């Protein structure tokens, strides 16, 4: 397929969706691709989106027409909507056999696909389907799996990721840099882990620990979704005794107050979401910390080894536009996968997991290069 015949559709024109759009159209990466972006809110038209690229989805959303109308004819679709819309948009992609990417931490779509084993008389299997793209889940999973792959006796895999504010003026030691809905959801859901080789689920906010990265002390605890499908994949390898988990990094002291709100007071989800969306200060002066490690025995060595990766991301100007750390790390995570798909370095159909992607392939892409740890 020639580049000028490639039409990428983005659904969701919030901060991350707009970042994906501007990264695609603002640089040298295949600038002859056609890119369209859709949203329910027309105020996004004054954002850095070319009006001719914008598709307004009318409300209330008519799932049988609006998503279908936008999806039809696209080479692929990137879902940057809230996780609550994943299945609705995916059904439209199924209808037109359009490859689908999303950024979600939520496993609702995974369960929906598994329950239906969706096959129609006109389709022998699923179109290309890659959920859990972005940062965490996303490239953090690819990094961790890369670190773990050369152990003859793998003992542990740890993924630790934090989207932090550089400054904070409250006792939470936290200002918001991304979705309040997503944050509350990950603080409340069940968390996938591997314990002694077996898949398990544990409560969010459990597993508290402190850690030191690059000489600075942080705290971390279980949150849902950040490990994507990796815990299940690792448990299916039947590695005796292996442990693996994902935890969110915060500045020391944050967990105490969050645990009070969520567990001691047991506030309802809608109140917590409203609190985080309205009353926690927001910031564009953020930083993202990604740390992953794997430990165990390699070859015939008599002592254990540990391989790790750590990188601190801060806001960056890319092609003349300033992006927050969470914007470009998330957007570049999914766009690296889009590059690999279009270059046919990924399967062209079926459900594709992050842990199946080669880290070296990611680093060779125009967007994956931002994750290089030079």
User: Which tens digits make up the pLDDT trace of 292-351?
Assistant: 999 999 987 768 989 999 999 999 999 999 999 999 999 999 999 999 999 999 999 999
In angstroms, the CA 202 to CA 34 distance is 43
Report in angstroms the alpha-carbon separations of 124 from 92, 116, 119, 129, 344.
17, 14, 6, 14, 20
Can you say whether residue 228 is alpha, beta or left, with left for phi > 0 and alpha for psi between -120 and 50 degrees?
left
DSSP state at residue 356:
G
6 within 8 A of 75, measured Cβ to Cβ = yes
Residue 68: phi and psi, rounded to 5, are -65, -40
Cis ω for the linkage preceding 137 (within 30 of 0): yes
Model pLDDT for residues 214-240, shown as the tens digit of each residue? 999 999 999 999 999 999 999 999 999
Specify the pLDDT at position 201: 97
Residue 119: phi and psi, rounded to 5, are -140, 130
Specify the pLDDT at position 3: 74
Specify the pLDDT at position 162: 98
Specify the pLDDT at position 120: 44
Q: Is a pLDDT exceeding 50 seen at residue 245?
A: yes
Average pLDDT, the chain: 91
Percent over 90 (pLDDT), the chain? 75
Q: Band the pLDDT of 123: cuts 50, 70, 90.
A: very low
* Mean pLDDT (whole number) for 80-90: 89
Q: What is the pTM of this model?
A: 0.93
* Mean pLDDT (whole number) for 240-252: 97
Cross-strand pairs, 108? none
- Lookup result for tokens 């969470």: 326
Q: Where do runs of H (alpha helix) occur along the chain?
A: 15-26, 66-71, 86-96, 108-116, 140-148, 180-188, 230-235, 254-259, 269-278, 325-342, 359-363
Burial 301-331 (b: 16+ CB within 10 A, else e): eeeeeebebebebebeebeeeebbbbbbbbb
Nearest of 117, 132, 346, 12 to residue 94 by alpha carbon: 117
3-state per-residue secondary structure call for 323-337: ECHHHHHHHHHHHHH
Model pLDDT for residues 254-273, shown as the tens digit of each residue? 999 999 999 999 999 999 99
Report in angstroms the alpha-carbon separations of 1 from 37, 72, 75, 342, 364.
21, 17, 10, 9, 21
In angstroms, the CA 371 to CA 374 distance is 9
Specify the pLDDT at position 114: 85
Specify the pLDDT at position 231: 97
Domains, the chain, ordered by start: 3-131+333-371 (3.40.50.720), 135-314 (3.30.360.10)
Q: Is a pLDDT exceeding 70 seen at residue 53?
A: yes
Q: Which helix (H) or strand (E) holds 34?
A: strand 34-39
In angstroms, the CA 84 to CA 182 distance is 10
Specify the pLDDT at position 121: 41
In angstroms, the CA 328 to CA 314 distance is 9
In angstroms, the CA 219 to CA 212 distance is 9
* Mean pLDDT (whole number) for 8-32: 87
């Amino acid at each position: 397929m020639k580049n000028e015949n490639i039409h990428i559709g983005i659904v969701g024109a919030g901060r991350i969706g707009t970042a994906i759009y501007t990264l695609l159209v603002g640089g040298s990466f295949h600038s002859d691709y056609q890119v369209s972006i859709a949203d329910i809110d027309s105020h996004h038209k004054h954002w850095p989106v070319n009006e001719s690229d914008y598709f307004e989805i009318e409300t209330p959303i008519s799932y049988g027409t609006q998503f279908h109308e936008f999806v039809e004819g696209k080479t692929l679709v990137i879902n940057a909507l809230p996780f609550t819309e994943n299945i609705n948009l995916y059904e439209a992609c199924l209808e037109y056999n359009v490859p689908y990417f999303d950024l979600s931490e939520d496993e609702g779509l995974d369960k929906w696909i598994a329950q239906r084993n969706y096959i129609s008389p006109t389709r022998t299997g699923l179109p290309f389907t890659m959920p859990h793209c972005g940062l965490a889940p996303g490239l953090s999973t690819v990094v961790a799996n890369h670190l773990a792959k050369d152990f003859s006796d793998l003992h542990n895999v740890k993924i630790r990721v934090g989207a932090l504010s550089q400054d904070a003026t409250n006792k939470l030691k936290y200002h918001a840099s991304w979705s309040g809905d997503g944050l509350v959801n990950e603080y409340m859901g069940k968390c996938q882990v591997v314990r002694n080789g077996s898949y398990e689920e544990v409560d969010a906010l459990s597993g508290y620990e402190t850690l030191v990265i690059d000489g600075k002390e942080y705290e971390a605890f279980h949150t849902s979704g950040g490990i994507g499908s990796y815990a299940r994949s690792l448990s299916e390898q039947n590695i005796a005794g292996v442990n693996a988990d994902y935890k969110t990094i915060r500045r020391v002291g944050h967990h105490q107050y969050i645990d009070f709100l969520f567990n001691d007071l047991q506030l309802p989800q809608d109140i917590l979401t409203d609190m985080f969306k309205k009353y926690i200060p927001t910031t564009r002066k953020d930083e993202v910390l990604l740390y992953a490690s794997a430990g165990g025995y390699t070859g015939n060595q008599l002592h254990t080894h540990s391989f790790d990766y750590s990188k601190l991301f801060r806001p960056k100007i890319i092609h003349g536009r300033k992006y927050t750390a969470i914007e470009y790390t998330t957007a570049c995570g999914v766009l690296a996968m889009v590059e690999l798909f279009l270059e046919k370095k990924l399967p062209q159909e079926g459900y594709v997991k992050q842990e199946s992607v080669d880290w070296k392939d990611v680093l060779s892409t125009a967007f994956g290069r931002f994750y290089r740890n030079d």
